[in-house]
Chains A and B, each alone.
Chain A
Amino acid sequence: MPYPVISYELLYHIVSFLGIILATWIVARVLSTLLGKLLKGVAPLVAVHARRLVWIFIWLLGVLFALEQLGLRIDVLLLLVGLLGAALLIASKEVLQNFASKYFSDVYIPFKVGDTIKVREYSGKVIEINPMSTILITDKEEVVSIPNSIFIRETVVNITPQVWKELIVPILISGEIDLAEFESDVLKSCNKLKLHLDERFPPILTVKNREAKSTELVLTLMIKEPDRKDAIISEINSKVAEIIERMQRKKK
C-alpha cells in the first residue's frame, strides 16, 4: 500500500502555522515580561491584569494569523474580535475614564497624598491616589473612594492649610553625586530667592527613593505670592540643573 504523500505546499503551511505559534509564544512572553518591568511601580493587581490582557491580545492575533496559514478565512473572526474589542471598550468606559483622569489630575489638579480636599459632599485627607480612584479618610474615620473621573468634572477644593504656599520640586540625581554636597548647594541657591519665599519655612530637601544608580528627592519650599510660582519653579529647576551639571563635571 503506498504511503500518503504530503505535498510541499501543505508542509509549508503546517510549518508556517507552527512557526507563527512559536513566534507568538516568544513575543507574548517578551512583551509580558517587559510590561511587568514597566509596571513595577503600579499596584500588583493592575500589573497582573495588564499583562494578562496583553498576553491574550497577542495570542489572539497570533492564532488568527496562524489559522490563516492553514487556509482558514479569518475575516469573520477579525470582525468578531473587533466587535468584542469595541464591546470591551464600551463596557470599560468608566474604568478608562478613571485611568485617564488620574493622568490629568496628576498634572493639572494640585492635590497630593496628605492633603485635605473637599469634593461634592465629601471631605477628608487623601491617603491614596491609584489609577482608578482617590481614597480619602474623613473626620469620622470613614474611608471614601472617589473615582478619578469625578475630579475632571467636579470642583475640587484643597482645604489643606497653606497648601497654596507649598511648592514641591521633584529632583532626580544620579547615585554618583554626593548628596550632602548637593543638598548644601541647593539650599544656598534657595537662600538667594528668600525674598519670594516664606521665611518661616526654610527649604527642605527630602529623599523619596534611593537606589544604587539614582536618588529621587523632593525640594519643598513655601512661597509668598502664588503668582510667582511658575517663575520660582523655573529658577529653581535651572539652578538645580546647574548644580547637577557642575557636580557631574567635577566627578569626571
Chain B
Amino acid sequence: MWIYEVAIQIGSSISSNNSNIEGEIPILFGLAALLTIEGDCDHIMAAIECLRSHLHLAWQRCKKISALKICVNTQTPLVRFNLPKEELEQKHKELSRPLDLSSLGEGGDFQFTPGGVTRMVFPLLKRMLSDGIVEDAHWVSLNPTGPEKATVDRITLYHVSLEAEKMKGYGYIKEAIWKVIHGIPQKLESASQVLWQDEFSDYTYYNRLSAERIIWLDKEIDFDVFYIHDFQQLPVGHMLHTLKPKVFRWHIPFDESMIPPEWRQFLSTYFSNYDAIIVSCKKYLEALKSLGYTGKAHYVYPYIDPSSYVKPTESELAEYCRSFGIRDDDRVVLVVARLDPMKGQDRVIKAVASVVKDISNVKLILVGDGSFSSSKQGVGLSKAERWLNDLRILVKRLGIEDHVVFAGHLSQSQLNAAYERADLTVLPSIREGFGLVVIESWIYRKPTIVTSRAGIAELIEEGGNGLLFDPDDLLILAEKISELLTNPERARTLGENGFITSKRCLIDRGVKDESKVILELM
C-alpha cells in the first residue's frame, strides 16, 4: 500500500516543472516492479497507469525543451537566383516580403546551389524542423545578387552582399586558405604572406558582416545554438561574442601533414572559439586533436536524403541519353564534381584515353559546372572556366572528343538519370573532404572507384564495396575502370555492397548524430 502511495508522490513530482526526470523515472519503474512482485494486484494497474501518464507528460516536456531556434551560417547560399533582384521584382510584381521561393519557378527564377554543404544542410534543417528538434531555422549566407531575405520550407534565408572590390579580396584569401589546407603549392602560401595582406581584411570584413547579421537576428529571435560551416566562415565564432553554444562543421579535408606549421596557430586561434567541432571522418578527428583543440570534437559522416534520388522514368532516361548522345551499347563512366583542378577530372580523362584502346564504346560523362565561388552570381572567380577550357584542350589532344561529354550542371531528375544509366562512377579528386557523390552512386547500386585521398575512403573495403586508387597512379585507375567494365558480375557485387554501406550516410543517421552533438551542448 505504502509503495503505491510513494509511487503516486513521485509521479506527481515528475509532472511538476521542478522535477528531475532522469532520476525519478527509474524509481517509478522500480516501484512498479516491486508492486508486481508483492502481488499487490489491486494497485498494480493503477500504478502502471500513473506511470504511463507521467511518462507521457515527461516526454511532452522533453520535446518542448528540445525544440531549438538555430542559426546556420554558410558561405554558399541555398539558392542562386538567375535574375537580379530588380528583374525578379519586375517579373513577379506581387512578390511577398520576405520572398517566398514557392512563388517562384525553380530552374527559371532560381536554382538550388549544387555542392556538398548545401545538399547536406538543407535536408538536415528540413528534417530537424519536421521532427520537432528545431522550431525555428534561419540561414545566413553570402549572396550578392539575391534579395536580402527569402523563405523556403519554413527556413528563413538571409543574404549578405559584398561590394565587388571586397568580394575580390575575400575570394583571393579564401582560395589561398583552401589551397593551403588541400596542400596545393602556390606562389604565396606562408601564413605571414597571406594573412598580412590587405585582402585578408576583406576576408575578415565579410565574416564580420555575417557575424553582425547573426547578432542582429539573435537580438530579435534569441537563438539557442549557432551552427557555422566551413573554413570560409571560420572567424565568425570569434566574432559572435556570445556564450551561447557555437558549433563549427569543417567540411574540407583536415590532414595535419598537409597543413604548414605556421597555419596551425591561425586555425587553432579560431577553433578555440567554438564549443564543438564536427569533421567528416575519423582521421580528420585525430588531426584536429593533434592540433591542440581541446573542445568537444566529433566526426559525423556527411549524408544525403535518399528521397531525392529516385529511379528516373523511362522517358527521363531516354531524354537524358538523347541530350548527351549516349547510345544503348555505350559503357558509361560517370564523374560528378564541380569544375576545379582539385576534383581531378583530368586524371579520369587520361585514364579513359587508355581504356578506349581496349573498350571502344566507353563514354565518360563529366557532370558539374563551377561552384558558387566560380559563378557570376557568387564570388566570381574564373577558376571553373579556365579549368573547363584546359579539360577541353586535353580531350582534344588525346583525340577522345567522341568519348567525353561535358554535361555541365544537371537538374535533380537529370542527375538521377545520369546515375541510373552509368555503368560505374569515379571519384578522382586529388583531395576530397568526404565524397558524397559516392553515396549517391551507391544508392543506385553502381560500383565506384574512389581516390584514396577522400574522407569516404575510410568506408571503402577494397574489392568489397568499392575500389580505391592513388590519384597520381593513372595506370591503376585505367585498369580498374577496364576491370569493372569487363566484369559485370564483380561490378554488380560492388554496387550491391556499396548500397548497404550507403546506409551509414543517409539523412536519418546524419540528423541523429548531428542533433546529438548540438543537444549535448544545450
Contacts and interface: CB of A to CB of B under 8 A. Distances in A.
Asked whether A and B interact, the reply is: yes
Contacts of B262: 200
B209 A202 contact: no
Contacts of B241: 206-207, 210
B269 interface: yes
Interface string A178-204: 011101110110010010000111101
A93 B205 CA distance: 51
A183 B265 contact: no
Given A183-B205, A184-B204, A184-B205, A200 B192 contact: yes
A194 B190 CA distance: 14
Contact of A199 (B191, B198, B200): B191
A205 to B, nearest CB: 8
B281 to A, nearest CB: 29
A180 B209 contact: yes
Interface residues of A, number: 18
A207 B239 contact: yes
B205 A202 contact: no
Contacts of A207: 239, 241
A201 B265 contact: yes
B195 A180 contact: no
A180 B208 contact: yes
B29 interface: no
B191 A200 contact: yes
Q: Interface of chain A, helix or strand or loop or mixed?
A: helix
A115 to B, nearest CB: 16
Nearest to A198: B192
B200 A204 contact: no
Contacts of B266: 202
A206 B238 contact: yes
B420 interface: no
Interface in B221-243: 238-239, 241
B139 to A, nearest CB: 20
B199 to A, nearest CB: 10
B461 interface: no
B238 A187 contact: no
A206 B200 CA distance: 16
B53 to A, nearest CB: 44
Nearest to B194: A202
Contacts of A179: 208, 212
Nearest to B193: A199
B196 A180 contact: no
Contacts of B208: 179-180, 183-184
A191 B198 contact: yes
Nearest to B235: A204
17 contacts: A179-B212, A180-B208, A183-B201, A183-B205, A184-B208, A187-B200, A191-B196, A191-B201, A199-B192, A199-B195, A200-B191, A200-B192, A202-B191, A202-B195, A202-B200, A204-B238, A210-B241
Interface of B: 191-192, 195-198, 200-202, 204-205, 208-209, 212, 215, 238-239, 241, 262, 265-266, 269
Given A179-B212, A187-B201, A199-B196, 14 more contacts: A180-B205, A180-B209, A180-B212, A183-B201, A184-B202, A187-B200, A187-B204, A188-B198, A199-B195, A200-B191, A201-B265, A202-B196, A204-B238, A204-B269
